[in-house]
Amino acid sequence: ADRDIAKASATFQYAAEDRRTTERNTLFNGLSKAGDAKSQGGFLLTRGANLRTLAVLAADVTPDKTTLGDVYELSADLKLAKMADQKGVDFYQKNTVIPQGIVTTDAASVIFEEGGVRWRLPRSASSAQDGLLGRSALRKAREVCTERDLLQAHGTFYELPALNAKGAIRMRPVATSDAAIHDYCSYRGLLVLSGVSPEAAKDDRHVIRSDDGKAAVWVGAADDLWQLGKPRGHGGPWLNTAVQKGAPSDPYLMTGYDKKTLKLTNHGAKPVRVSVLLDVAGDGRSTTYRILEVPAGKDIVHAFEPALNAYWVRFVADEDAVLSAQLTYE
């Protein structure tokens, strides 16, 4: 430093090059796609009372509705069989409800709310995800590893730390795909997913079916999710948004994406200067990365350096204006 500073911080963030492709690994071939006419879903719940089995409440999932079926049981030897006693359907239905809200969308992006704070996330390229998310058809969050939830939002899985480990501010993307995963949980050290394609190959070793063919789950390891597809998406905190001078936008996720492009659009009649603020350490403190001038009625495109990484990005305008700030992650 060229002068004395009472308090200073220097933050370094390292990341390896992400060489994954956008294609999901063949081990996920048995999963349905968001645009499929029908998917074999299932509400999943590990059973107590020392039973050590996994209840699977079968469900047919279509773009418009979810239809419940019978209850099945996945045993320790990974056999999926229909329960002899179907009186527990109401119990499993009640205890596996997918809540409304929490993850929503608006015109600009996906929104995840935790503790009254809005965190904005990218949306995938699949418009079919809009309808599924809009009716809360797919599981949104569930603890899969100890004190670490798995958040599913518009085609992307995220690691979501527990609140005692900073919570949403330290979340990161795992993978993005076209899959429509209905529910997910851990069972005996394995990751179990529902949302199997009716067309899945009969010899797919990751797909376990009941004898009657009316229930099916995918089984693998939690770390397999990293092979579901490179994280990607588009969105931002503003889209034709009336912005107040000096008011920061909602934070928009940046960490975990390597090819990042920003498009700023000024929909007004006067030029506006927009500060791009980065939360590098994921601690809520932001630093100015660039101040970009956007001409009246024009847009500008800025490509972030490949090595630049930060947890969150926010934007602040120096005038009241109608602006769009949209990012593309590839």
H helix intervals, the chain: 89-94, 128-134
What is the value of pTM for the model shown?
A: 0.94
Annotate 7-52 with DSSP letters as a single string: S--------------SSPPGGGTTBPBTT-S-EEEEEEEE-TTTT-
Q: For the chain, give the percent of residues with pLDDT over 90.
A: 92
Q: What's 311's DSSP letter? A: S
Are the C-beta atoms of 230 and 18 separated by less than 8 Å?
yes
Counting every residue written for the chain, the total comes to: 330
What pLDDT is stored for residue 147 in this prediction? 78
Residue 124, number of CB atoms within 10 A of its CB: 22
Three-class DSSP category at 276 = strand
What pLDDT is stored for residue 26 in this prediction? 98
Query: What are 215-231's pLDDT values in tens digits?
Result: 999 999 999 999 999 99
User: What domains can be seen in the chain, in order of their start residue?
Assistant: 26-227 (no CATH), 233-329 (2.60.290.11)
Quick one: the chain helix, strand, coil %, rounded to 5?
A: 10, 45, 50
Could you tell me the two tokens for 313? Answer: 């990005």
- Residue 53, classified by CB atoms within 10 Å of its CB into exposed (0-12), middle (13-18) or buried (19+), is middle
pLDDT of residue 297 exceeding 90: yes
Are the C-beta atoms of 217 and 186 separated by less than 8 Å?
no
Name residue, tokens 């109608």: 322
Long-range contacts of the stretch 23-27 (C-beta < 8 A, 24+)? 23/229, 24/175, 24/177, 24/178, 24/179, 24/227, 24/228, 24/229, 25/224, 25/227, 25/228, 27/206, 27/220, 27/224, 27/227
Could you tell me the two tokens for 36? Answer: 């499929």
How many CA within 13 A on the CB side of residue 191? 18
Query: What are 86-103's pLDDT values in tens digits?
Result: 888 899 999 999 999 999
pLDDT classification of 134: cutoffs 50, 70, 90: very high
pLDDT classification of 242: cutoffs 50, 70, 90: very high
